[in-house]
Amino acid sequence: MTEIAARSTFLKRTSSAMPENHGKQYAQGWRVAAICTILLLVSAFSQIDRILPFILAESIKSDLGLSDTQMGLLTGLAFAVCYSLLSLPLARASDRGSPRFVLVSCILLWSAMTALGGFAASFLLLAVTRFGVAFGEAGAVPAGHALIARKIRPERRGLAIGLFAMGIPLGTMVGFAVGGAIGDTLGWRTAMIGAGAIGGLVALLTFIVPGPTPAVIGTAAISEPFLRSSRRLLASPAFRWLFIAAIFVGFASAPFYAFSAPFLIRTQGFSASEAGLAFGLLQGLMGIVGTLVGGRWFDRAVSSGTGRVVGPPAILFLVASATTSAALFAPAGWLSIALLVPGMLSFSFMLPWAFGAAHLVAGDGKQAQASSLVMIGSGLLGPALGPLFVGMISDAVTAAQGPNGLGFGLLVVPIASVLTAVALLIANRRIAASLLRR
C-alpha cells in the first residue's frame, strides 16, 4: 500500500508539473501538433546553420585563402565553448521570462549571422559571424524545452522533446545534401545567405504559432540567482549523476562521429562517398527512430509511476558498447557498418530521456536551466578531449607498427559508453528515490 501511494503521489506531481495558474496555457488540439512542427523546424535549421561550414569548407578555404587550422577554429573548440557556456544565461532568461521571446530572438540572431557570413571577405569577419551563430544557437535547446514545459501537457512532453531533437539528424542530412548541392552550383555564399533568409521565416512562425508564454509565477527559480540555483541542482545526487552521464556521453559521441567515417575508409576500404552515404543515411534514420521511440517510451516510463526514468537508455548503451567494440575489429566492411548501428541509435535515443529526466528532477520553472546544464556536461569536455584521445592512441599504435591504429583509438567510444550506462543506472535509482519522496 505504501508503494501504491507513493506512485500515486508521483503521478499527481508529474501530471501537474506547471503551477495551477498556468493550467489554461497548455496548447490544445491542432496547436499541439503545430508547436511540435515549429520546434522541429527550429531544431533542424539550427543544425543546418551550424554544419554548413563543414560541407562548404573547401569552397570557403579556397575563396578566403584560409588554412585548415583556421577552419578548425571556426568550427571546433571555440564554437563549442561559446555554445555551451552561453546556454546557461539564455536558459535563465527562458525560465524567468517568455521562452518564446528568447527563442525568436535567438533564431533571428543566428539566422542573421549565418546570412552575414555569406558576405564575409576575411577570416576575422567570418569568425565574428560564427560566434554570433553560436551565441544564438546556445539558447535554442533551453528555450525550446521551456516552451514545451509551458505549452505541452506532461504526458506528451517526452514525445515533444523527441520531435524537437529529431531536428538534429534531419538538419544534418538536409544541411549536407542541400547545402553541398547549392554550394556546388551557386556557391558557398548563396548557400549561407539562403539558409539565413529561411531562418527569418522560421522565426516569424515561432512567434505566431505557440501564442503568448508569460513568465512562471510563484517558483523558487524566479528569485534565486541562477549560479546558486545551478549549484543547488548539481548538489542533488539525482541530477549530479545525470550530469556525469552527460559528460560520458560527450566522450562517446564526439569521437564516434569524428572518426567513424575515416575508420571505414582507412581500415575497411570504403571510398569517401561510400562511407559518407552509408554512415550518413544510417545515422539519419537512427536519429529519427531513436528520438521518436525514445520520447514516447520516456512518457510511458513517467506514467508508470515508479520514478525509474532512465533505465532503458542505460541498457542500450551497454549493448552499443559491445557492438561498437566488435565493429572496430570486424572482418568485413558491411558487418562493421551494421555493428555501428546500435551506437548511432543509443545517442539519439538518449536525448529525450536525459532532458526529460533533468526537467523532472529540476522541477517547475527550471526546465531550461536543467537542459542547459545537461548541454554543458555533454558539450565541453567530451568534444574537446575525446577526439584528441582517439588521435593520440591511434598515432601511438601506428608508430609502434601496430595494425588498425584508429580502431584501437576508437575503443574510447565503447569504454565511455559503459561508463555512461553505469552513471545512468545510478541516476535511475537516485531519481526514483528523489521523486517518490516528494
Residue 352 has pLDDT above 80, yes or no: yes
Q: Tell me the per-residue pLDDT of 53-94, one tens digit each, with 9 for 90 and over.
A: 877 877 888 898 877 667 766 766 667 777 777 888 888 888
Helix pair angle (412-437, 381-399), 10° resolution: 150
What average pLDDT is seen over the chain? 84
- Enumerate domains of the chain plus CATH numbers: 26-215 (1.20.1250.20), 224-438 (1.20.1250.20)
- Which 3-state string (H, E, C) describes the chain? CHHHHHHHHHHHHHHCCCCHHHHHHCCCCHHHHHHHHHHHHHHHHHHHHHHHHHHCHHHHHHHHCCCHHHHHHHHCHHHHHHHHHHHHHHHHHHHHCCHHHHHHHHHHHHHHHHHHHCCCCCHHHHHHHHHHHHHHHCCHHHHHHHHHHHHCCHHHHHHHHHHHHHHHHHHHHHHHHHHHHHHHHHCHHHHHHHHHHHHHHHHHHHHHCCCCCCCCCCCHHHHCCHHHHHHHHHHCHHHHHHHHHHHHHHHHHHHHHHHHHHHHHHCCCCCHHHHHHHHHHHHHHHHHHHHHHHHHHHHHHHHCCCCCCCHHHHHHHHHHHHHHHHHCCCCCHHHHHHHHHHHHHHHHHHHHHHHHHHHHHHCCCCHHHHHHHHHHHHHCHHHHHHHHHHHHHHHHHHHCCCCCHHHHHCCHHHHHHHHHHHHHHHHHHHHHHHHHHC
CA–CA separation, 348 and 364 (whole Å): 25
User: What's the CA angle centered on 151, arms 49 and 154, to 5 degrees?
Assistant: 110
Give the total residue count for the chain. 438
Q: What is the pLDDT of residue 415?
A: 97
Q: What is the pLDDT of residue 196?
A: 94
353, with CB counted inside 10 A (0-12, 13-18, 19+), is: buried
**Whether this model's pTM surpasses 0.95:** no
Residue found under cell 546556454: 87
* Residues 136 and 110 sit within 8 Å (Cβ to Cβ): yes
Grid cell digits, residue 25: 496555457
Residues 6+ apart with CB under 8 A from 65: none
Share of the chain above pLDDT 70, in %: 88
* Residues 314 and 241 sit within 8 Å (Cβ to Cβ): no
Q: What is the pLDDT of residue 19?
A: 41
Q: Which of 319, 343, 339, 320 is nearest to 330 (CA)?
A: 339
Residue 214 has pLDDT above 90, yes or no: no
Q: What is the pLDDT of residue 88?
A: 83
Q: Say which amino acid occupies 179.
A: G
CA–CA separation, 210 and 216 (whole Å): 16
Q: Tell me the per-residue pLDDT of 4-37, one tens digit each, with 9 for 90 and over.
A: 444 544 445 454 444 444 444 788 888 889 999 9
CA–CA separation, 350 and 340 (whole Å): 16
CA–CA separation, 33 and 148 (whole Å): 12
Min mean pLDDT across 197-201, 206-210, 229-233 is at 229-233
| Residue 326 pLDDT class (50, 70, 90 cuts) | very high
Q: What is the mean pLDDT of residues 146-163?
A: 88
